[in-house]
Structure 1
């Protein structure tokens, strides 16, 4: 007599999916083709459902499928609103689909933790594929959110940060700002163990390219640190102390921008009359800062939701990997004024 495990291997689906199909669970999201295939295999091999032993067992509901969520920034998540929002999106979408998300950090992950019990893995942030490969999941069971290491192999959800930066610079340049600085940080890719490699952030790459094309790029106007308020404050203090403060800054995230704003105000430098600021993320802190910040809206919660949707689409039989680009939107507030000529 064939077992559930053997049926799952023949049908190329999880054992939990086989069980739910054979128990006529209509809340399960699966294609009719897959449902019919499972039933056909069971009939062909004369599968017999085991009788439940007690009335208490009869009342038990089928356990929901679980999704592993691998987050590279879980240790300092409290300081990273972008990753918090992505995580919330994943959790909300899972709840609506009847799935259970299980959160892991790459710094504490062991190969045994993520096994065949999971429907798939949603990877948040720049995690090298070699880490995910170690947990015995094929590319069709893995979705990357916020990173696309190999679009020929993995589903991914990303934001076009370079295009977003172009829109920020276009706004500043159109409104007569010429000397534009940058405050940001390095982008980390997580390797096996606790090793990381640093790469240039795509916002900075786009900023540097455009400013070089205009002949206005100055290395001395660029400041790198961690993506925190305290670092934004420290870096702006350094810019002020340099003696050649740009008339506008693009800042990589809202927390850094709030810190930079405080540094300017502590030195009696008016925003936007003397220095303009434009940020990224457009979180609540940007809207309610002492000088409301112009900021690029990144729909991070929707990124998380889209990641789960891609995983479920794969489970329905899609073979070609998808790469979804979530749009951004620049919201103009007080921190960059309306026109420099009116300052």
Structure 2
């Protein structure tokens, strides 16, 4: 990554002059400003935060970058991170990655405005993460494996959790099982899809693309996908939704159509958000240890800031929580 010294060298000026020009100071001429700005653009120079290149002190802040701050999935994760940051006398800033390359999260990463960052956002580019991570700003990545210096990896066993969910549906006698997918660029979604297919293969059930629907990890996406299923002549026996929010959308759509989840169609979600046990019927789902993940991620940040960088790839187990949305067994 280019530094202000590189910009100064390319523009043929002193570092102090380059700094004045980049900060639009009246101390330098317009001609010099244009020359420095052209050099900065050519080198794709990004200033390093509020203190720019002069950042010498810690911010006492940990950043948490999430795909969407509004989703119920994140509350336990945030609480886990917050418990550890408060205990260490740090502030926590949660930032949304909505908007991709133009998001506040991307700017936050480029400008290195925290002492450590935790990321659960599939639309943050790997190259940006690699370039942003450094000794005084380690990054914990929760949604994909990435081997890079100063990047720590904690993931949930998405494939194993999905396998448990689909095997449960198969054990109940279901064969026509929909996979309700999250975003195609989500590593978590990819691993859950692999677990789904692996369970089918284990039980000699052929995978058919007709049982693949897109829900984009949102309640609205699950609702619209269920509406599409209801338009087909042949309903599935069961639905495995790759997260609980989509599953709740499915429940709503089937209720509107006069069909009963747990009787007409079985349904399993993934995450075990707080709402899962309160919907009607209560949702069978794969539980992620979200608070534990948050606690562990924050602990890894503070260990790294103290010079103890873990190179271990941490994979956390999931648990199948059986409730009412799958009903009783069918005769095969």
Taking structure 1 as the reference length, what is the TM-score of the superposition? 0.70
Match of 1:125 in 2: 121
Within 2, Cα distance between the matches of 1:307 and 1:173?
35
Match of 2:139 in 1: 142
Q: Deviations over 1:295-337 (max 9, x none)?
A: 1111112111111111222233324412222221111111102
**Count of aligned pairs between the two proteins:** 267
Alpha carbons of structure 1 residues 157 and 320: separation in structure 2 relative to 1, 3 Å: closer
Alpha carbons of structure 1 residues 314 and 159: separation in structure 2 relative to 1, 3 Å: same
Match of 2:154 in 1: 157
Say whether residues 1:174 and 2:166 are aligned partners: no
Within 1, Cα distance between the matches of 2:73 and 2:299?
19
Secondary structure in structure 1 of the residue aligned to 2:230: helix
2:69 to 50, 74, 77: 77
Secondary structure in structure 2 of the residue aligned to 1:336: coil
Alpha carbons of structure 1 residues 152 and 247: separation in structure 2 relative to 1, 3 Å: farther
CA shift, 1:209, in A, is: 3.5
Match of 1:254 in 2: 244
Aligned alpha-carbon RMSD (Å): 2.7
Alpha carbons of structure 1 residues 152 and 215: separation in structure 2 relative to 1, 3 Å: farther
Q: Tell me if structure 1 keeps the 8 A contact 2:141–2:151.
A: yes
Q: Tell me if structure 1 keeps the 8 A contact 2:286–2:319.
A: yes
Within 2, Cα distance between the matches of 1:183 and 1:259?
11
Within 2, Cα distance between the matches of 1:200 and 1:143?
19
Say whether residues 1:241 and 2:231 are aligned partners: yes
Match of 1:202 in 2: 191
Secondary structure in structure 2 of the residue aligned to 1:186: coil
Q: Tell me if structure 2 keeps the 8 A contact 1:68–1:104.
A: no
Taking structure 2 as the reference length, what is the TM-score of the superposition? 0.72
CA shift, 1:254, in A, is: 1.3
Match of 1:328 in 2: 318
Unaligned segments of structure 2, at least 5 residues: 1-56, 98-102
Alpha carbons of structure 1 residues 273 and 104: separation in structure 2 relative to 1, 3 Å: closer
Within 2, Cα distance between the matches of 1:199 and 1:306?
18
